[in-house]
Amino acid sequence: MSQFRFVFVVFCFTAVLIFAVYLRSASNQVFYQLCSCNVEQSRLKQELGAKQLRLEGMINPPAISRRLRESPGAGSPDTRQANPNSAR
């Protein structure tokens, strides 16, 4: 009977160690996924910030006035209709 207990204890100890190794590798995989998601999130935030700055640069009043002055025929509506290639 004591040999059976010894085999059972060794089996349980081995199973616990294998489970601990499994949990550690699973933890490393989750940590890697978390880090890659954080990197992706920061990249998307930077991209969004750049797009917001570009949009604000396009819609602020001095930029609109400058574009209106630079575009040919922007002052008269009939010229704008006659030229379909003008910016809308």
- Residue pair 54/34 in contact (Cβ under 8 Å)? The answer is no
Q: Compute and round to an integer the Cα radius of gyration of the chain.
A: 33
Average pLDDT over all residues of the chain: 84
For the segment 6-26, what is each residue's pLDDT rounded down to a tens digit? Answer: 999 999 999 999 999 999 999
Angle subtended by helix axes 2-59 and 61-70, to nearest 10: 50
Provide the residue ranges of all domains of the chain, joining segments of one domain with +: 2-69
Please write the tens of the pLDDT for every residue from 63-74: 778 878 887 765
Please, are residues 87 and 70 in contact by the beta-carbon 8 Å criterion? no
Percent of the chain with pLDDT over 90: 55
